Structure 1
Amino acid sequence: MFATRPHATVVLGFVSVLLAATAGSAVAGPPTPPRPETVVSLSEGPWPPTAGVLAADPSEVAAPGITAARTATQCPAAPYGVNHYAPGTGKTVALTFDDGPGVTTAAILSILQQNGVPATFFNLGVNSTVRPTLVRSEAVTGQVLGNHTWSHPRMPTLSSTAQASELDRASAEQTLLTGIAPCVFRPPYGEYNATTLSLAQQRHMAVWNWSVDTEDWKAGTSTSSYWVDRIVTRATAGGLQHPVVLMHNPPAGIPATVSALPRIIAYYRSQGYKFVDLRGGSGMRAPTPAAAATSDGLHLFVRSTTGSVSERTLRGSVWSGWTSLGGAVVGGPAAAATGSATTAVAAIGTDNSVYLNSVSDPGTSSAWANLGGFATSRPAFVTTPGLGEIVVIRGADGQAYLRQRTGTQWGNWQSLGGLLAPVAPAAAVTANGALTVAVVGADNAMWVRTRSSAGVWSIWHPVSGAIDADLALSTTADRTRLVAVVRGSGNQAGFVSVSNPDVTSWTGWGNLGGILASGPAVTVNGSALEVFAVGTDNRIYRNSATDGTQVTGWTGWRLVP
């Protein structure tokens, strides 16, 4: 899994379960999008030539092998027809990016992370083979990945067999890279016929075109303010209740789109729109923070606006300023105290590998050490004197993977199995030496697997919940039980559940309130539990359980100054 992977035969269609032996519910699909009274006609082009859309000659790219087994899938049943308007109630807007990944994809992802905005990326299979790390980075940041065919043909000109091949090769490549089957499809140039629609429906892919065309591809690689202004004007015109905005990130990139994107986001926010992806998800995608406590104080770690990791410390009642730890990371960091005066920080690099940095209380940090891996989620990180340091990630095949250091030696990556939703796992170790890994399954519920102090693993057990962001897991202050903190889907409030000592049962989810733009972070701080999350204003908020053993006495959410 963590070696270089050749293109392999991929079965299109996964059973929507956490484990092969344990059934789970299918992930809920997008609601039927409401249609405004005025129908907007799609642009007729002219369109860019296919040669500028592809990063390589399709004849020179090894396509993944395909087994045409589609009896089960991660996606819900798809309707027949074409959607043009963003899902959801109220005023919603969906940002979409075609023809990637390309050289500007990383910049687009960074802007989306800074603003906590979900989006949908319609990648080409050929381009995904050239820049696979960017496809995984899209998964790490929680964006929806869609099928845009293998080589960007005019679909109505192809036979049914050729159209099916275009769809299947693109889906196989995405599944190979991320363990996520595409549930949405956009035909190149917006062109389709009845065969296209039938083939997409058979593969459980909803077909999405657009209602707002920025025509950003006409800017090419120009950085002129003329093109930036034109893209913004077109993206914000029309006054639709549910616009789907078409933009591009082809191989050569469109710098003007990158420059226009913050203004487009700011406009729709100012007009009261809610950003959604084309699967109906409206959860904000701000990078999840991390926290750990040492004798020096309570440490808070975040992905900064420049893409590096930054840290600040609460000593008594006073917060220090931010200190940069450097790095170039995708998604939020994870952290744990490795001693009374040291903390280790784990993060995913732009190459999808896990990186680790050790920080002493005086503020001295080590260089980032590469632990390898092909991560499609933010990492989980936990440490304990008896077990050493442990990193857990969601791998490229959708399974959970663990790597452990005992003494100075890191072991190999170990598969824990499962079929995980593309959000980060979590891990914690209780005083009896038992390690518990928590994940979000394909049914969006929390599942746990525990390794006893003797090294014996349990099977995966469901806990429940409806979760759409990174998990957080900690022990209670006395280290006898576990505490899970999550962001619920829908209202995006924080919720907490506490296990019994052997982690075989959990309390019901207690509502912590708030509206969270990220997943939460949780850590023990003396006799208290501390929870941090990003709010909808992109600022960090803190909620404390003053009795961290009984997990009571919550203070409510307070802004971190």
Structure 2
Amino acid sequence: MSWGRDRLDVFTLATDSSVRHGWGSGSGWDGWENLGGVFISAPEAVSWGTDRLDVFAVGPDSRLRHQWYTAGGWGAWEDLGGQLASRPAAVCWGANRIDVFARGMDSTLQHLWFDASGWSGWESLGGSIAGRPCVESWASGRLDVFARGTDGTLQHLWLTGGKWGTWESLGGLLIEDPSVVAWASDRLDVFAVGKDRSAQHLWFTGSAWGSWESLGGVCTRRVTCTSYTAGRLDLYTVGADSTVQHQSLDGKWSGWESLGDVASSAVAATTWPSRLDAFWAAPDSTVHHIKGS
């Protein structure tokens, strides 16, 4: 993830189940540090300002753990409770505001948030989801949450004006968890893997949803997405030959290209202006990185 120009922070689950943190800038990587802990999910990281990082992961007791960084260094892991059955998803839409979502043991969507008064208690937002949710915010106080339903369709729930809407089904027949990106107010692009293993795309323009379109390919991991400017999208997945695959939209879709390297995990990607960075785990459990523009 990137919290400022020329700054990257990467978090991963090590083979001993602890969280590792690597960071770098335009001048190169500064190395890895062990943040400790024992976890059963990969970490999730967000930032609501310069020199502020918040990291979340699920412990072996299925409870959420949290650790944070400020200019003074790392705090200690804290227990935020819950009974979670998926990796968490987190988003920041303002200073001192974090919203965390995960699938509960009963397949409902669970929600926890932080604001100036501290952490809330967990609340159930209902639904019936099969995997890890994803969340995006395109305006202060606006949240859109997506998840693969237990029936395989894309499920959507949103918060606006301090009130949650009701779950809606956006159709499709998905076999991997979705990802979402917003490149403008009232614009959402959602990507998932269809039953035939092709990449599937659905978009919202502020007034209506489009129709599912197939972007082809053979995806053996979830499709991840990022955007560094209005109208530009970059997608990553892992192909049938286990290599990292990339496709971009800049006026029109480019078609899939192989980036060559073999991956044993889904691809994580982040951006800063006119710069792309993608990361994945290699078969030898090391983290690999590619940058683009």
Q: What is the TM-score when the length of structure 1 is the normalising length? A: 0.41
* 1:497 and 2:202 matched: yes
Equivalent of 1:472 in 176, 179, 184: 179
Whether the aligned pair in 1 keeps the contact of 2:217 and 2:239 (CA below 8 Å) is no
Q: Which residue matches 1:395?
A: 104
Q: Which residue matches 1:407?
A: 116
Q: Partner letter of residue 497 of structure 1?
A: L
Whether the aligned pair in 2 keeps the contact of 1:494 and 1:516 (CA below 8 Å) is no
Matches within 5 A, 1:102-501: 291-313=1-23, 315-316=25-26, 321-359=31-69, 364-385=73-94, 388-421=97-130, 423-431=131-139, 433-452=141-160, 454-476=161-183, 478-491=184-197, 493-501=198-206
Q: Partner letter of residue 205 of structure 2?
A: N
How many pairs does the alignment contain? 261
Whether the aligned pair in 2 keeps the contact of 1:386 and 1:433 (CA below 8 Å) is no
Question: Partners in 2 of 1:369 and 1:414 — Cα distance?
Answer: 19
Q: Which digits, 9 at most, give the CA deviation of each residue in 1:172-201, with x for residues without a partner?
A: xxxxxxxxxxxxxxxxxxxxxxxxxxxxxx
Question: Partners in 2 of 1:416 and 1:543 — Cα distance?
Answer: 34
Whether the aligned pair in 1 keeps the contact of 2:141 and 2:162 (CA below 8 Å) is no
Closer/same/farther in 2, CA of residues 375 and 498 from structure 1, 3 Å limit: same
Q: Which residue matches 2:281?
A: none
Ranked by relative contact order (alpha carbons within 8 Å, sequence separation 6 or more), the top structure is 1
Question: Partners in 1 of 2:72 and 2:253 — Cα distance?
Answer: 32
Closer/same/farther in 2, CA of residues 457 and 297 from structure 1, 3 Å limit: same
Residue aligned with 2:91, SS: strand
Question: Partners in 2 of 1:314 and 1:366 — Cα distance?
Answer: 20
Q: Which digits, 9 at most, give the CA deviation of each residue in 1:335-355, with x for residues without a partner?
A: 222213433222111110112
RMSD over aligned CA atoms reads 3.4
Closer/same/farther in 2, CA of residues 530 and 363 from structure 1, 3 Å limit: farther
Q: Partner letter of residue 400 of structure 1?
A: L
Question: Partners in 2 of 1:325 and 1:306 — Cα distance?
Answer: 12
Structure showing greater radius of gyration is 1
Question: Partners in 2 of 1:373 and 1:380 — Cα distance?
Answer: 14
1:553 deviates by 5.9
Structure that is richer in strand per residue: 2
Question: Partners in 1 of 2:34 and 2:137 — Cα distance?
Answer: 29
Structure that is richer in helix per residue: 1
Question: Partners in 1 of 2:248 and 2:28 — Cα distance?
Answer: 19
Q: Which moved more, 1:339-348 or 1:443-452?
A: 339-348
Q: Partner letter of residue 436 of structure 1?
A: D
Q: Partner letter of residue 338 of structure 1?
A: W
Whether the aligned pair in 1 keeps the contact of 2:93 and 2:140 (CA below 8 Å) is no
Q: Partner letter of residue 50 of structure 2?
A: S
Q: Which digits, 9 at most, give the CA deviation of each residue in 1:6-33, with x for residues without a partner?
A: xxxxxxxxxxxxxxxxxxxxxxxxxxxx
Q: Which digits, 9 at most, give the CA deviation of each residue in 1:115-165, with x for residues without a partner?
A: xxxxxxxxxxxxxxxxxxxxxxxxxxxxxxxxxxxxxxxxxxxxxxxxxxx
Q: Partner letter of residue 200 of structure 2?
A: F
1:552 deviates by 5.7
Q: Partner letter of residue 499 of structure 1?
A: F
Whether the aligned pair in 1 keeps the contact of 2:24 and 2:31 (CA below 8 Å) is no
Q: Which digits, 9 at most, give the CA deviation of each residue in 1:73-120, with x for residues without a partner?
A: xxxxxxxxxxxxxxxxxxxxxxxxxxxxxxxxxxxxxxxxxxxxxxxx
Whether the aligned pair in 1 keeps the contact of 2:246 and 2:258 (CA below 8 Å) is yes
Whether the aligned pair in 2 keeps the contact of 1:499 and 1:507 (CA below 8 Å) is no
1:324 deviates by 3.5
Closer/same/farther in 2, CA of residues 443 and 339 from structure 1, 3 Å limit: same
Question: Partners in 1 of 2:224 and 2:136 — Cα distance?
Answer: 12
Closer/same/farther in 2, CA of residues 461 and 552 from structure 1, 3 Å limit: same
Closer/same/farther in 2, CA of residues 552 and 429 from structure 1, 3 Å limit: farther
Whether the aligned pair in 2 keeps the contact of 1:293 and 1:337 (CA below 8 Å) is yes
Closer/same/farther in 2, CA of residues 409 and 441 from structure 1, 3 Å limit: same
Q: Which residue matches 1:515?
A: 219
Q: What is the TM-score when the length of structure 2 is the normalising length? A: 0.73
Question: Partners in 1 of 2:151 and 2:12 — Cα distance?
Answer: 29
Whether the aligned pair in 1 keeps the contact of 2:239 and 2:245 (CA below 8 Å) is no
Q: Partner letter of residue 52 of structure 2?
A: T
Question: Partners in 1 of 2:32 and 2:218 — Cα distance?
Answer: 25
Question: Partners in 2 of 1:342 and 1:520 — Cα distance?
Answer: 28
Identity over aligned pairs, percent: 25
Structure 2 unaligned runs (5+)?
262-287
Structure 1 unaligned runs (5+)?
1-290
Question: Partners in 1 of 2:74 and 2:247 — Cα distance?
Answer: 28
Q: Which residue matches 1:152?
A: none
